[in-house]
Structure 1
Amino acid sequence: MSQSKNTEALDQEQQELLEKYDSESRFRVFLNNRITLLVTIIAVTFSLYHLITAFTGPPVYVLVHRALHVSFVLVLVFLLFPATKGAARNRLPWYDMLLALLSVPSTIYLFLNYTEIVTRGGLPSTLDVLFGTLLIILVFEAGRRVTGWALPILALLFVVYALFGRDLPGIFRHRGYDWDAISNQLFTTTEGILGTAIGVSATYIILFILFGAFLAKSGMGQLFNDLALALTGHAKGGPAKVSVVASGFLGSINGSAIANVVTTGAFTIPLMKKIGYNRNFAGAVESSASVGGQILPPVMGAAAFIMAETLGVPYTDIILIAILPALLFYLGILAQVHLRATKLDLSGIPKSELPSIKDVLKERGHLLLPIVFLIYMLFFTGTTVIFSAAWTIIVTILISFLRKSTRMSFKDFIDALENGARTTVSVAIACATVGIIVGIANITGFGLNLANAIVSIGGESLFLTLLFTMVACIVLGMGMPSIPAYIITATMAAPALVQLGIEPIVAHMFVFYFGIFANITPPVALAAFAAAGLSGGSPMRTGFMAMKLAIAGFIVPFMFVYNNELLLMDTTFTESIGVIITAAIGVLMLGIAAEGYLLHSMNVISRLFMAGGALLFLHPALLTDAVGVIILVTIFLIQWIRKRKQPATPAEA
C-alpha cells in the first residue's frame, strides 16, 4: 500500500524532500484544534466504516458503497490539501470548507434515487446530469491537488476527445457524445468514476493500507531496518545490501516508492557513503530497491489488487506469478552491489556495531506473525481477501501487546486509523480520476483503437509491439502515481499484447512492471530524484544508475512474455526448480555484464558476451543453457588467469 505518511517519524528535511517529490504528502497542519479534531473524527469514521463493513458486508447497492467512499475521500482532500503550493497550510479557507460540503450531495442523491436511476436504463434526467457534473468537477480539482497536474490534464483531454472525437480523422474517430451521455457514463455506471478502480479502493486497498498503518505504529519499520542490518550489515558493502533488503521488506508493505526512499534512505544512504560508495550510486541503490517493493509479494501495492479485480482472477494467483520475477529483480541489484563493493574493496559494518539476529527477533520478531497469518488466510483458509485483511488487522493489534516496546496505546490505535484514512485519500482520488479516463476509453472504444494502432505499428511483430508498449508505459508512468499508471496502461496498452495471443495476466504483469519503473527512468524519475536529494548527488546520474541496477526488471518482463515458465505458469515442480536455477544464473550474469566486473574488470567484448549468455539463460532450453554455461565458464577462466597474473586494485567507479 501507499505508505502511511506518518510525519511524526520524519525530520523537517525529510518531510520537505517527501513533499517536493510526492504531492500526496502535502497535508495541512492546522493551528485550530477544533478543525484538527474534525479531520480526525472524519478520518477515523472513514476507516472504521470500511473495517466494520469488511466483516458485515457493504451496503446492498454497490454504487452507493463506492460513492460513499468517494465522498469521504473528497471531503478529506479539501480539508487536508491546500489549493496551491504557496497557500497557507495552517488554516482552512472558507471555499475549501464549501467544497468539502459539496462533496456529499452526489452520494445522497445516488442513495435516494438508486432504483430509479437503474430502471431508466442509461437515460439520464436533469438531476442525474447536475449531480454527475458536480462530482466530476470535484474529482478533477481533488485529483489536481493530490496527484499534480498530469493525471487531471490527461483525464480532461479524454473528456474533450469524447465531446469532439466525431471530427477526428482515422481510427480514433467515434460517433461523438454529448455532455448528458458523458456525465451519465462517469456517474451512474460501474465504468466511470465509480468503476473497478474505486471498487478495489473501497474494498481491498483501504484494508491493506490500514494493515500497514497498524504495522507501522507497532514498530515494523524499525524491525525491518534492524533485521536488514543484522542479516547483511557485516557483509562486503554491507550498508548497500541493508538498503536493498530493508527497502524490499518495507516497500512490499507500503507500496510507495518515494516515501520508501525518504524513510529508509535517510538511514541507509549516509551509511553507504560512509564506507565508500559514491553519492550517485548510493541514491541509485535506494531508489531502485524502493521501487521494486511494489512488485514484491505478499502485498505488492494497490495495483496488484486492481489487476486481480480487472482480470477476474484470485489475488493469490497474482502473488504466485509475481514471486520469481520480483526475487530475480532483487538478486540483480544485490549482485551489482556486491560486485561494486568487491571492485572498490569496500568492507561492511563491524559486527560489534550491529544488532544480532537473535536480539532483533526477540525484541520485535513477533511483528512478523501478522504477515504469516495473512499468507495463511489467503492461501489455506478459502476466505476472501477482504475478510483475510480485516482479521489480519485485528491480529496485528493483538500481537503488538506481546511486548511492551511494540504495545499500541489508544492514541496509537486512533493515529493508525487516521493515518490509514489519510493515505487512502491519495490512492482513492487517483483511482477516481483515472476512472474518468477508463470510462471515456470504454464508451469511445479508444483503448481498442489504440491497441490496434500499436499492433499495426509493430507490424504484428511481438518484439516490436512489446518495445512500443514498454515505451508507452514508461512515458505514461512518468510523474504519475503507480496506480493510475498501471490502470491507464492496462486499459490502453495491455489489449495490444492480448491481440497477439499473450495471456491477459502476462500482458498485465508486463505493463505493471514498466509503469512502476517510470519512477527511476529519466527524465522524470521521481524516486531517483528524491534519493539524489538525500545523497547530494546528481538527479539524472542517479536515475541512470538506478536503471542500470534495475536492469533485470527491464529484461525479465520481455522474457516472461516469451516464456511463461518464468512466471511459474504451466510448469511442474521439477521444471520450476530448473527454471529458478537457470533464471538466477542469467540474472547474475546480467549483473556482471552491467557492472563490468567479475574477478577483475571486464572489457566491452567480455561484457557483451556475458550479457548475451545471460539472455540465453533467461530463455531456458537445453541448447541455450549449454551455450550460456560455456560463455560463463570461459569468461570466468579468463578472469581467473588474469587475476593470478596481475591482482586487481581497487578502482573508482
Structure 2
Amino acid sequence: MANLKAEGRALSEEELQELVAASDAGGRNPTGAVATFMASIALLWSVFQVVLASPLSNVILPGDLINNSRQIHLAFAIFLAFLAYPALSTSPRKHIPVQDWIMAALGAFVALYGYFFYDKIVNSGGLADDTDKWIALGGLILLFEAARRALGPAMAIIATIFLGYVFFGASEWVPEVIRWKGASLKKAMSHMWITSEGVFGIALGVSTKFVFLFVLFGALLEKAGAGNYFIKMAFGALGHLRGGPAKAAVVGSAATGLISGSSIANVVTTGTFTIPLMKRVGFSSEKAGAVEVASSVNGQIMPPVMGAAAFLMVEYVGISYVEVITHAFLPAAISYIALVYIVHLEAVKRNLPTLGNRDVHLARTIVGMASFFAIFAGLCYGSQYPVDAVTAWVPSAAGLVMTAIVTAIYVALVYLASQVPDLEPDDPNAEVVELPVIKDIYKAGLHFLLPIIVLVYFLMIEKKSPGLSAFWATALLFGILLTQRPLKAMFRGQTDLAAAFKFGVGDLNQGMVDGARNMIGIGLATATAGVIVGTVTLTGIGQVMADLVENMAYGLTYLCAAFVHLISPATDAIGLTSFQGTVAERAEDMTGTTLVFVLMCVGLLSLVLGMGLPTTANYIVVSSLMAGVVVELGANSGLIVPLIAVHLFVFYFGIMADVTPPVGLASFAAAAVSGGDAIRTGFTAFFYSLRTVALPFVFIFNTDLLLIDVTWWEGIIVFIVASIAILVFTAGTMGWFVTRSLRIESFALVLIAFALFRPDFLMDRVQPPFEISAPTQLVEVLGSVEEGSEVRVIVSGPDFDTAEVKDTTIVLPATGAADGAARLAAFGLTVFAEGDMLLLEEPFPGTPYFETMSNFDFYGDAPMRITEVKAPADQLPKELMYIPALLLLAAIAFLQRGRAARQPQEVQA
C-alpha cells in the first residue's frame, strides 16, 4: 500500500475492497470448506445476536446464555479475529495456518470460561483462584493479540501499558505523582477478567446489547441496495449544481453515515463514485479526497449510530438513548450544512463548471430537499397516530393489524419500484455522465425508508430500548431482502420467482455474514478498552490524571496571566484594561481560561490516542480518564458543564484522528481512491473540518446547541442562528463570502460567528448574569428567588486526597416550598453560621450532593464553608447581541457586493 500511495496512482476496485476488508472485516478470505466454515460462524453470531435482542429471547434462549451473553459475544469476536485477520503482512491470505486455528480455539474457550464455570465464579464472589488467574492471564494475552491484528498495534500497546501499571505501580521507575501500591496477579485478574469491572464491563455489554444490531442493520440495508439509492438521490438533487459532485458527496456520505459506523468504508463506498467526478469538474486529487474524507468521517457524528458511541454514552452518562441523539443532532446537522457551504465556496473561488446539461435551479433544489426531509420527519412523527387509532380500535390484535398495514405499505412501495428499472452503480469515468433525474428514480428505493421509519418510531415515539428498536427494524429488513426481488419479478410479469427468491436468500445470508465480520473490530475494541477502564477503577489513576491536567492547565493560565500582565501598561494606556494587581491575582481572575486549556489538553490527548485507536476505543479510553476531570474543573471555575457535553467533546476529537496526519486512515483511503498525496489530503481534510474542531468548544460553553433545557421554539431559533453562525465561520476561514475577503473581513466574520454562537459571553460583559450575596444570606436568597430559578453556591474546603483547599460550584434549583430553609433541607444540606462564615456539614449518603461533595474532607483542619452565593440577576435577553452581529454581517456583505460589482472578473458566491 505504501508503494502504491508513493506512486500516486489510484487503486483498482479490487484493491480498494481489499483495503476496506483489511480494515473493517479482516483481510483473509480463504476458499472452499474453510470459507464456508467462517461464513457459518459469522452467520451463527448474527443469528445469536438477533435472537438475544428479540422480545422472545427469554423463551428461546436458556437463562445462562443470556446471563453470559458478553462472554459469548467476545468468544465469537476472538475466534473470527484469528481466522479473518492475518498475524503479519507476510502471512497467507488464502488459507489459515495451524497456529491461528489453535489460538482461535483457545481464545474462544477462555472467553467462555465465565460461562463454563459460572457457578464456581458466583460462589467465590468473583475472586480468582490459582487456576482462574492463569486462565485470565492467557485470555488477556490472546485478546491483546487479536486486537493487534484487527485494530493495529496501538490498542494492544496502550492496554499493555495500563496493565503493567496495575502490577508495577509501586515501582521506583513509576513517577511518584502516579505511583500506587500495585496489585497481585490474582487480584488484577479477578478485576480484569473474572468480574464485570474490566474486559466484560459496560463497554462490551453495550457492544453485545446494542451495537451489533445497529451494525447488522446497516449491513443489511446496504445489501438491500439503500446505499446506492442514497448516493443516486444525492447526485440527482445536487450533481448539476456548481461543485455538484462534492455537494452530492457530502449529502450522500451523511445518508450513508446514518447506517455505517466506519469512516473508511464510507470513504471507499461513496468515494469510488464521487471522487472521480469531483476531479472531473476541476477539484484536485487532494481536494476531492479531502471533501470525501471530511464528509465520511462526519458520518460518525450523525445519529442514530454514531460509530457505537451513542450507546456507550447511554451507559456512561446515565441518560436515555433518545436524549443522547437529541443532544447530538444539532451539532451534526450544522456541521454538514457548513461542509456543503465549504465545497460551494471552493467551487465559486475556482469558477468550476457544472456537470451535465441540466438547468440549474438552486432555489428549487433547496426547497425540494427541505420538503423531502420535512415529509420524512413528518412520517416518522406522524406514525404514532395510526398506531394509536389501531390500538384503540383492536387493542388485543393491534400488533397483527399494524403488521398487516406495514406489509401492505411495503408491497405498494415495491410495486412502485417495479415500475422503474433497478438502480445500477454508474461509471464515473464514462465519456458522458448522465446525472440521475429525481422524478425518474425516487420510486426505486422508497421501501428502503420503511425500516428507518420503524427504527425511529420505536426509538423516539415508543421509547423502546435501542436493541429492541433495532430488532424490529432488522426483522423488517429480513422480509425486504427475502421478498423484494420476487415481488418485483411478479409485478413485472416475470416467471422465475424461485431464482429471485434464491437471490434474496443469498443477499440476506451475505448481509448477516458482513454484519458479523464488521463487528469483529468493535467487539475487540470494547473488550480491550475494558482493561483500561478496569485500570482506572482499580488504581484510582483517574483522580491523579485530574490533578496532572489541572496543574498543567493552571500553569498555562499563569503563563497567559504573566503575558497579559507584561503588556498591561500599554493596554491600560489606551483603555483596553484597567486591572491592577499581581500575576497570581490576574491568573486567579482567569479561571475560565483554565477550563479552555483543560479542553485543549483533552482534545490533544484524543487526537494522539486516536492515531492508533479506532474511534470507539478512543472514546472509551479518553472519556474514562478525562470526562470527570472536565466536569470537576468546570465546577471549580464556576461553569456547570453537563456530562453529555464532555462526552460529545471527546467523541468529536476522537473522530478527527481519522482525518489528521500522519496516521489518518480515512485520508489514506481517500488518497488510494483519488491517486493523490495522502498527507496533503489529510491536511486539506483537517482544514475543511475546522468547524468540527470548533463546535465542541462552543457547545461546552453554550449548551443550547445540545438542546439542553430549551423549549421547542427556542430550539428552532437556536438551529437557525447556529446555522448562520457556522456558515459565517466557514466564510471567515475560507477567505470568501460574497467575493474574496480582505483579512480584516475574514477576522470580522469569525468574530461575528463567535457572537452568534456565544451571545451570553457578550451580554455578560454588558450586564452581570448574577447578583453576588454574602454566604450568610444563602437561606434568604434561596427563599426569595422565583420557582425554577437556580442559585449557584461556591463551596470551599480541603481536598480529601491532597488536603489542599479547592473550590467547586453547586447548583441549587429553587423548587418546592418558597421557604429557603425548607429548600435547603430538601437538598440534604445543613449549614450553620460561625461569625461571618457559613459552614457546611457533610451531606448524608443518598442525598443529591453526596457524590458531588465526596472529594472533600469534611473533617480536615480547614472547615468546609460556603464562600459565595450567586442568584440570577435581571439581565436583558442575550439574543439582543444577535442584532449588532447581524448588522456587521450585513455591512460586510454590502461592502463585498460593491467590490464585486466593480471587479466583474470576480465570481460572486
State the TM-score bracket (shorter-chain normalisation): over 0.9
3-state secondary structure, aligned to 1:644: helix
Query: Aligned runs of 1:435-454 on 2, under 5 Å?
Result: 435-454=530-549
**Is contact 2:328–2:706 with CA below 8 Å preserved after alignment?**
yes
Aligned partner (choices 357, 361, 373) of residue 438 of structure 2: 357
Shift of 1:533: 2.2
Q: What is residue 670 of structure 2 aligned with on the other side? A: 531
**Is contact 1:520–1:547 with CA below 8 Å preserved after alignment?**
yes
Q: What is residue 610 of structure 2 aligned with on the other side? A: 477
User: What CA distance in whole angstroms lies between the structure 2 residues aligned with 1:285 and 1:76?
Assistant: 34
Aligned partner (choices 14, 17, 37) of residue 15 of structure 1: 17
**Is contact 2:18–2:27 with CA below 8 Å preserved after alignment?**
no
User: What CA distance in whole angstroms lies between the structure 2 residues aligned with 1:404 and 1:300?
Assistant: 33
**Is contact 1:23–1:148 with CA below 8 Å preserved after alignment?**
no
2:169 paired with 1:165? yes
3-state secondary structure, aligned to 1:28: coil
Shift of 1:630: 2.6
AA paired with 2:217? F
Aligned partner (choices 675, 685, 709) of residue 546 of structure 1: 685
AA paired with 2:466? V
User: What CA distance in whole angstroms lies between the structure 2 residues aligned with 1:527 and 1:108?
Assistant: 35
Aligned partner (choices 115, 119, 122) of residue 119 of structure 2: 115
**Is contact 1:328–1:552 with CA below 8 Å preserved after alignment?**
no
2:350 paired with 1:311? no
Q: What is residue 134 of structure 1 aligned with on the other side? A: 138
Aligned partner (choices 632, 643, 653) of residue 504 of structure 1: 643
Q: What is residue 185 of structure 2 aligned with on the other side? A: 179
Q: What is residue 47 of structure 2 aligned with on the other side? A: 48
Provide Cα deviations, 1:129-148, integer angstroms capped at 9, x if missing partner. Answer: 12211211110110011001
Provide Cα deviations, 1:272-315, integer angstroms capped at 9, x if missing partner. Answer: 01001122211110000000001111222212111112222211
Provide Cα deviations, 1:454-475, integer angstroms capped at 9, x if missing partner. Answer: 1222225211111111111111
3-state secondary structure, aligned to 1:90: coil
2:439 paired with 1:371? no
User: What CA distance in whole angstroms lies between the structure 2 residues aligned with 1:510 and 1:184?
Assistant: 33
Structure 1 unpaired stretches of 5+: 1-9
Query: Aligned runs of 1:133-152 on 2, under 5 Å?
Result: 133-152=137-156
Shift of 1:592: 0.6
Provide Cα deviations, 1:64-119, integer angstroms capped at 9, x if missing partner. Answer: 21111111111111111111111111111111111121123324432243233233
Provide Cα deviations, 1:326-384, integer angstroms capped at 9, x if missing partner. Answer: 01111111111111111222233225522222232211121111111100010112322
- Name the stretch that deviates more: 119-128 or 105-114: 105-114
Shift of 1:208: 0.8
**Is contact 2:322–2:463 with CA below 8 Å preserved after alignment?**
no
- Name the stretch that deviates more: 247-256 or 265-274: 247-256
Query: Aligned runs of 1:73-222 on 2, under 5 Å?
Result: 73-167=77-171, 168-222=174-228
User: What CA distance in whole angstroms lies between the structure 1 residues aligned with 2:883 and 2:353?
Assistant: 35
Aligned partner (choices 636, 639, 642) of residue 893 of structure 2: 636
RMSD: 1.9
Query: Aligned runs of 1:510-521 on 2, under 5 Å?
Result: 510-521=649-660
Shift of 1:480: 1.8
User: What CA distance in whole angstroms lies between the structure 1 residues aligned with 2:93 and 2:103?
Assistant: 17
**Is contact 2:304–2:310 with CA below 8 Å preserved after alignment?**
no
User: What CA distance in whole angstroms lies between the structure 2 residues aligned with 1:622 and 1:251?
Assistant: 34
Provide Cα deviations, 1:195-247, integer angstroms capped at 9, x if missing partner. Answer: 11111111111111111111111101111111111111111210000110111
2:553 paired with 1:458? yes
Q: What is residue 395 of structure 1 aligned with on the other side? A: 476
**Is contact 2:86–2:149 with CA below 8 Å preserved after alignment?**
yes
User: What CA distance in whole angstroms lies between the structure 2 residues aligned with 1:643 and 1:649?
Assistant: 6
2:308 paired with 1:302? yes
AA paired with 1:436? V
Shift of 1:447: 2.1
2:509 paired with 1:409? no
AA paired with 2:674? S
2:695 paired with 1:556? yes
Shift of 1:192: 0.8
User: What CA distance in whole angstroms lies between the structure 2 residues aligned with 1:63 and 1:84?
Assistant: 36
2:733 paired with 1:594? yes
Shift of 1:16: 4.3
Assess, with a 3 A threshold, how the Cα gap between structure 1 residues 17 and 603 changes in structure 2: closer, same or farther.
farther
**Is contact 2:24–2:517 with CA below 8 Å preserved after alignment?**
no
**Is contact 1:74–1:139 with CA below 8 Å preserved after alignment?**
yes
AA paired with 1:422? R
AA paired with 1:159? L
2:27 paired with 1:27? yes
AA paired with 2:28? R
AA paired with 2:24? E
AA paired with 1:384? S
User: What CA distance in whole angstroms lies between the structure 2 residues aligned with 1:120 and 1:17?
Assistant: 47
User: What CA distance in whole angstroms lies between the structure 2 residues aligned with 1:141 and 1:562?
Assistant: 41
Q: What is residue 427 of structure 1 aligned with on the other side? A: 522
**Is contact 1:265–1:286 with CA below 8 Å preserved after alignment?**
yes
AA paired with 2:699? F
Q: What is residue 4 of structure 1 aligned with on the other side? A: none
Provide Cα deviations, 1:407-447, integer angstroms capped at 9, x if missing partner. Answer: 76111111111111111111101111111111112111122
Aligned partner (choices 292, 296, 301) of residue 290 of structure 1: 296
Structure 2 unpaired stretches of 5+: 1-11, 359-433, 490-499, 555-590, 636-640, 760-877
User: What CA distance in whole angstroms lies between the structure 1 residues aligned with 2:357 and 2:259?
Assistant: 28
2:461 paired with 1:380? yes
Q: What is residue 5 of structure 1 aligned with on the other side? A: none
User: What CA distance in whole angstroms lies between the structure 2 residues aligned with 1:105 and 1:532?
Assistant: 41
User: What CA distance in whole angstroms lies between the structure 2 residues aligned with 1:36 and 1:560?
Assistant: 48
User: What CA distance in whole angstroms lies between the structure 2 residues aligned with 1:25 and 1:76?
Assistant: 10
Q: What is residue 239 of structure 1 aligned with on the other side? A: 245
User: What CA distance in whole angstroms lies between the structure 1 residues aligned with 2:198 and 2:265?
Assistant: 29
Assess, with a 3 A threshold, how the Cα gap between structure 1 residues 285 and 350 changes in structure 2: closer, same or farther.
same
Q: What is residue 3 of structure 1 aligned with on the other side? A: none
Q: What is residue 383 of structure 2 aligned with on the other side? A: none
Write 1 or 2 for the structure with the bigger share of helix.
1
**Is contact 1:14–1:263 with CA below 8 Å preserved after alignment?**
no
**Is contact 1:195–1:435 with CA below 8 Å preserved after alignment?**
yes
**Is contact 1:479–1:525 with CA below 8 Å preserved after alignment?**
no
Shift of 1:623: 4.5
**Is contact 2:153–2:612 with CA below 8 Å preserved after alignment?**
no
AA paired with 1:260? N
3-state secondary structure, aligned to 1:626: helix
User: What CA distance in whole angstroms lies between the structure 2 residues aligned with 1:627 and 1:473?
Assistant: 37
Q: What is residue 791 of structure 2 aligned with on the other side? A: none
3-state secondary structure, aligned to 2:117: helix
Shift of 1:650: 6.0
**Is contact 2:111–2:139 with CA below 8 Å preserved after alignment?**
no
User: What CA distance in whole angstroms lies between the structure 1 residues aligned with 2:756 and 2:880?
Assistant: 10
TM-score normalised according to structure 2 size? 0.68
Structure (1 or 2) with the larger CA radius of gyration: 2
TM-score normalised according to structure 1 size? 0.94
Query: Aligned runs of 1:329-368 on 2, under 5 Å?
Result: 329-350=335-356, 353-368=434-449
**Is contact 2:215–2:261 with CA below 8 Å preserved after alignment?**
no
- Name the stretch that deviates more: 604-613 or 528-537: 528-537
Shift of 1:572: 1.3
**Is contact 1:565–1:579 with CA below 8 Å preserved after alignment?**
yes
**Is contact 2:155–2:612 with CA below 8 Å preserved after alignment?**
no
3-state secondary structure, aligned to 1:241: helix
Assess, with a 3 A threshold, how the Cα gap between structure 1 residues 108 and 478 changes in structure 2: closer, same or farther.
closer
User: What CA distance in whole angstroms lies between the structure 2 residues aligned with 1:163 and 1:553?
Assistant: 39
AA paired with 1:127? T
**Is contact 1:63–1:190 with CA below 8 Å preserved after alignment?**
no
Assess, with a 3 A threshold, how the Cα gap between structure 1 residues 265 and 27 changes in structure 2: closer, same or farther.
same
